[in-house]
Chain A
Amino acid sequence: MLYALCFLLFMIGLYCAVVKKNMVKIVIGIMVMEYAVNLFLIMLGYRAGGIAPIVTRDQLSSTLGQVLPAFISSSVDPLPQALVLTAIVISLGSLALMISICIRTYQRYGTFDITEIRRLKG
């Protein structure tokens, strides 16, 4: 169910990026898509009632010399969180560049409407 909503969010972003005529709205659409994917990644590692994947002293088994099976079965997956952090940083970089291109374009053309910004064709 949650995955379906996440996919819906992705499709809304894609729709917005493809259909809208305003440059800023296209950028917003792309960012919505990005967040939908980030949300999806986070949900992959989510576990209801899970604990943080940090091993403390009382989760180490003294006899086995390794972490308790209970820790493994209840901690959330830390990898997607690391991926999402990286993905957020990347999307921040591309968002900054996209917005600056929008601002420069507005200075040149005086409009955000992509149907009026059409010097290239063929």
Chain B
Amino acid sequence: MIGSRLPLFVAIPLVTAFVLPLFGSKGKSVATLLANLATTALLVLSVGTIGQSAVYEIGNWSIPIGINFVLDGLSSLLLLVISVVSAAAMLFSTRYMEQYTAKAKYLCLFMLMVAGMNGVVLSGDIFNLFVFLEIASIASYALVGFGCEHEELEAAFKYMVLGSIASIFILFGVALTYGNTGSLNMAYISKAIAGSGLNTGLGFALALFIVGFGLKAALVPFHAWLPDAHPSAPAPISAMLSGVLIKSLGAYALVRVLFNIFGITTSTGWLLLVLGLLSMVAGAFLALGQWDIKRLMAYSSISQLGYVVLGIGLGGILIAKGDSPTWASLAILGGLFHLANHAVYKSLLFLTSGSVQMATGTRQLKEMGGLAGKMPVTRAACTVASASIAGIPPFSGFWSKLILVVAAIGAGFYWIAAVIVFVSLCTLIMYLKVQRYAFLGELPESLQQVKEVKGSMLFAMLSLACLCVLMGLLVIVPSLKAGILDPAVKVLTDGLQYSTKIIASS
């Protein structure tokens, strides 16, 4: 029974998180081993959820009185992405975090963040979604400031202020929704809204949700915190934040609320599309001018998340119009596939930046150069990830961008297809810049002693690099596509049928 396994996704990381600090500095290796075991167990469990759907009622209280966990195609895709990235980032941390003190506390916060994200994607109750979102957010605020240096504290404060405001907006939205529909269960809220239509209170709640989740997802114009927060965190955490946190807390929650609870309309679809376009273009332009390797990657995260939101928004417009369902599901497929791809290659890029920073002690591209000879594996991993993000065939990013372009042209939005290609070109330029200044050129005098990183860090980077190459199979092989991506797309194209399914299954 897959249903009874759902609470494990929250329970395993939560229990591990509270056991880990007991080990202190002496049992550091045991704590690391335990944390790695936990993330691996989650990876195995999440592979088991592929193609399944289930509802778990906590404490056997049936909805709407009780709280439920819902596993459907979309949650399953997100769970898989979270587990892959967290397993790789945890493996990378094993060595990388030796530079910092208090490793056990770091591992504890890491596991709390994973527990929160898994809870967000599984929760079928909107207040519970808020609670898990806060668990993940508070852990991430602390992780951004983990180094306790000048920049880290400044970034953590900035991130925390904007993140708390976003959370309060979401809580206000939850309160308004409860006041107007009398339920907190997403399925029942959706049923009530479908029955009564949007009144002023619900419209205001929708606006609060869009701003709140938009802030969490760092969509332009809500992006101000991201380029400070993501580079300041330790590299594996940057990988987690850019790879999955902004997606599960921001994009996933936003899409779930818009498609499955309120029902997508042409205007909200256009809103998503415009937010996506702004993020894509502004993120790419701002990234081009950066000289700090991690800051450049953080800006490019904004740009890449724009693709995801754009694809889903385009699909939403087409669903609301109702005249071309094939193109609508293709656009959503492109968006969701890009989400999975971006999680893999952006976390890989941040991990390589972590290796470079650990080996050279700097993040400034101008102080690097010629590392290709000294760090061949890191260089190879970085090249694979750069090729993926720029959309060079046959790497993963190419396929998702291709699907988005085809969907945009098929639906008659030619200018969007042009923008997608143009931003892709900007992405190529910015990662060529990374390659040129970090890995090629002359080796500076100060970096003669640089050595390649070792052990688990290499293994984490190589496994993600292999995934980057293989991810294309997800759309090429029909059985994989039908098992992983199609159910996720169907959750969104079905829209409000979500509620009838959940209510019928209880």
Residues of B within 8 A of A114 (CB): 157
Name the interface size band of chain A: 20 to 34
Contact (Cβ within 8 A) B175 A17: no
Contact (Cβ within 8 A) A94 B160: yes
- Among the interface residues B141, B178, B232, which one has the most CB atoms of the partner chain A within 10 A? B178
Name A78-115 residues within 8 Å CB distance of B. Answer: 79-80, 83, 86-87, 90, 93-94, 97-98, 101-102, 104-105, 108-109, 114
Residue of B151, B160, B171, B232 touching A87 (CB-CB under 8 A): B171
Contact (Cβ within 8 A) A117 B154: yes
Contact (Cβ within 8 A) A41 B175: yes
Interface status of B197 (Cβ within 8 A of chain A): no
B65 CB, nearest partner CB in chain A, Å: 10
Stretch at the interface among A30-38, A48-56, A57-65, A66-74: A30-38
Q: A37-B168, A104-B153, A122-B295 are in contact. Are A94 and B138 (CB under 8 A)?
A: yes
Q: A37-B171, A37-B175, A44-B175 are in contact. Are A119 and B127 (CB under 8 A)?
A: no
Interface status of B149 (Cβ within 8 A of chain A): yes
Interface status of B360 (Cβ within 8 A of chain A): no
Interface status of A26 (Cβ within 8 A of chain B): yes
Residues of A within 8 A of B289 (CB): 122
Interface status of A14 (Cβ within 8 A of chain B): yes
Contact (Cβ within 8 A) B141 A97: yes
A118 to B150, alpha carbons, bound, how many Å? 10
Contact (Cβ within 8 A) B227 A44: no
Contact (Cβ within 8 A) B154 A37: no
Interface status of B373 (Cβ within 8 A of chain A): no
Residues of A within 8 A of B156 (CB): 101
Q: A104-B153, A105-B157 are in contact. Are A30 and B148 (CB under 8 A)?
A: no
A44 to B217, alpha carbons, bound, how many Å? 29
Name B191-213 residues within 8 Å CB distance of A. Answer: none
- Return the CB mask of B284-301 against A: 1 if under 8 Å, else 0: 000001101001000000
Residues of A within 8 A of B155 (CB): 120
Interface status of A23 (Cβ within 8 A of chain B): yes
Q: A30-B168, A37-B168, A44-B175 are in contact. Are A119 and B154 (CB under 8 A)?
A: yes
A122 to B151, alpha carbons, bound, how many Å? 13
A40 CB, nearest partner CB in chain B, Å: 5
From A102, which residue of chain B is reached at the shortest CB distance?
B157
B141 CB, nearest partner CB in chain A, Å: 6
A117 to B160, alpha carbons, bound, how many Å? 15
Residues of A within 8 A of B138 (CB): 90, 93-94, 97
Interface status of B184 (Cβ within 8 A of chain A): yes
Contact (Cβ within 8 A) A80 B160: no
Contact (Cβ within 8 A) A94 B165: no
Contact (Cβ within 8 A) B153 A108: yes
From A83, which residue of chain B is reached at the shortest CB distance?
B127
A120 CB, nearest partner CB in chain B, Å: 5
Interface status of B57 (Cβ within 8 A of chain A): no
Residue of A79, A97, A120 touching B160 (CB-CB under 8 A): A97
Contact (Cβ within 8 A) B178 A44: yes
A114 to B155, alpha carbons, bound, how many Å? 11
Interface status of B145 (Cβ within 8 A of chain A): yes
A17 to B134, alpha carbons, bound, how many Å? 19
Residues of A within 8 A of B145 (CB): 101, 104
Interface residues of A (CB under 8 A from B): 10, 14, 17, 23, 26, 30, 33-34, 37, 40-41, 44, 79-80, 83, 86-87, 90, 93-94, 97-98, 101-102, 104-105, 108-109, 114, 117-120, 122
Interface residues of B (CB under 8 A from A): 127, 131, 134, 138, 141-142, 145, 148-151, 153-158, 160-161, 164-165, 167-168, 171-172, 174-175, 178-179, 184, 227-228, 232, 289-290, 292, 295
In addition to A30-B164, A97-B142, A117-B157, 12 A-B residue pairs with Cβ atoms within 8 Å of each other are: A23-B157, A30-B161, A34-B164, A37-B168, A41-B175, A83-B127, A94-B167, A97-B160, A101-B153, A102-B157, A119-B154, A120-B228
Could you list 15 examples of A-B contacts with CB < 8 Å? A23-B157, A30-B164, A37-B171, A41-B175, A44-B179, A80-B175, A83-B175, A97-B138, A101-B157, A101-B160, A104-B145, A105-B153, A118-B154, A119-B154, A120-B232
